[in-house]
């Protein structure tokens, strides 16, 4: 796929974000994101990798509008969006881009059936009546591998993988062009993780979805990403195709991340009761 400007569904330029922590003499400013720029061609997946505190989740939250940038620009589907954008543009942004979180419980109300999380989005972004919303909800559940009877379940009645499927159905309900996945499989066991990754890849191909995939797991990045961006202490230190970054890293930090990743057959050293390694 060509990467000309006309094909970039997401274009981020020179984003900065600072946070102030503490009070009084302990008050300090943290540069969470500095001079971050990237673009994502339609229908592709950009994986953003880095350790905790690298700024990757802050970038994701700014992209969907949960955080405001101090400066810089975000162009989504050809429209620049910002905290000062008109109500119409902000509403369109909420339709164009959806987010799936690490913990799906955050987007589900424990007191309501999980279908309500999907019908709520359908009510906000479509003109469907209540009966049509219920029918569309069941259709979305089928798309993500859930059965009709799951619609009446409460969150606590579902497994972690099933709840993440509901969260994906909820994101799809807005018919977005872009989905941000923030550590969306990191809390799942390996078998379920593989199933969810396969589901996401199928949906991406079928619907020409564009993904921003936040992960600390380089094996996951290698599996899902067309391009990879590496962040350290709020800055981008390397980005390129998945093969370029993961097979031929140029930056010492990227090499450090790769060297730290467990290899097949790797067994951690055990400690005896005295704390010595064996």
What is the secondary structure of 103-130 as a DSSP string? -GGGGS-TTS-THHHHHHHHHHH----H
Residues forming a β-bridge with 145: none
C-alpha distance from residue 57 to each of 176, 227, 273 (Å): 20, 17, 38
Structure letter (DSSP) for residue 54 = S
The model carries a pTM of 0.87
Span of 147-151, 198-202, 272-276 with lowest mean pLDDT: 272-276
Residues forming a β-bridge with 211: 45, 179
Which pLDDT score, from 0 to 100, does residue 105 have? 82
Going along the chain from its start, the domains and CATH numbers come out as 5-260 (3.40.50.300)
Who wins on pLDDT, 256 or 91? Answer: 256
Q: What percent of the chain has pLDDT over 70?
A: 89
Which pLDDT score, from 0 to 100, does residue 39 have? 96
pLDDT by residue (tens digit) across 90-126? 677 878 999 999 888 878 899 999 999 999 999 999 9
Residue 237 scores a pLDDT above 60: yes
Residue 278 scores a pLDDT above 60: no
3-state secondary structure of 59: helix
Compute the distance between CA of residue 207 and CA of residue 278 in angstroms, rounded to an integer: 50
pLDDT category of residue 27 using cuts at 50, 70 and 90: confident
Residue 246 scores a pLDDT above 60: yes
Which pLDDT score, from 0 to 100, does residue 21 have? 83
Span of 40-49, 51-60, 67-76, 262-271 with lowest mean pLDDT: 262-271
Average pLDDT of the segment spanning 214-230: 94
Average pLDDT of the segment spanning 57-83: 89
pLDDT category of residue 5 using cuts at 50, 70 and 90: very low
Which pLDDT score, from 0 to 100, does residue 2 have? 40
Distant-in-sequence, close-in-space partners of 136: CB < 8 Å, separation ≥ 6: 122, 126, 128, 173
Task: Compute the half-sphere exposure of residue 204: CA atoms within 13 Å on the CB side of its CA.
Answer: 23
Which pLDDT score, from 0 to 100, does residue 276 have? 47
Residue 46 scores a pLDDT above 70: yes
Residue 268 scores a pLDDT above 60: no
Average pLDDT of the segment spanning 144-158: 96
Which pLDDT score, from 0 to 100, does residue 83 have? 61
């Amino acid at each position: 796929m060509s990467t000309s400007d006309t094909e970039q569904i997401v274009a981020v330029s020179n984003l900065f974000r600072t946070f102030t922590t503490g009070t009084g003499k302990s008050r300090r400013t943290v540069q969470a994101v500095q001079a971050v720029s990237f673009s994502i061609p339609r229908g592709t997946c950009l994986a953003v990798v880095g350790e905790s505190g690298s700024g990757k989740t802050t970038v994701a939250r700014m992209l969907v509008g949960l955080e405001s940038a101090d400066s810089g620009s975000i162009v989504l589907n050809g429209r620049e969006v910002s905290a000062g954008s008109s109500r119409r543009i902000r509403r369109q942004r909420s339709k164009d881009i959806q987010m799936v979180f690490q913990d799906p419980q955050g987007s589900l109300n424990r007191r309501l059936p999980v279908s309500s999380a999907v019908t709520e989005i359908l009510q906000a972004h479509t003109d469907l009546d209540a009966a049509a919303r219920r029918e569309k909800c069941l259709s979305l559940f089928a798309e993500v591998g859930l059965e009709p009877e799951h619609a009446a379940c409460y969150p606590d009645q579902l497994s972690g993988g099933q709840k993440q499927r509901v969260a994906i159905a909820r994101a799809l309900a807005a018919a977005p062009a872009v989905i941000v996945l923030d550590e969306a499989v990191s809390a799942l066991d390996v078998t379920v993780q593989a199933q969810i990754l396969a589901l996401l890849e199928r949906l991406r191909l079928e619907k020409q979805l564009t993904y921003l995939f936040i992960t600390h797991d380089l094996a996951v990045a290698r599996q899902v990403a067309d391009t990879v961006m590496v962040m350290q202490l709020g800055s981008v230190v390397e980005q390129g195709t998945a093969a370029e970054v993961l097979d031929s890293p140029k930056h010492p930090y990227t090499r450090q991340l790769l060297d730290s990743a467990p290899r097949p057959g790797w067994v951690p050293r055990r400690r005896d009761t005295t704390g010595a390694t064996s």
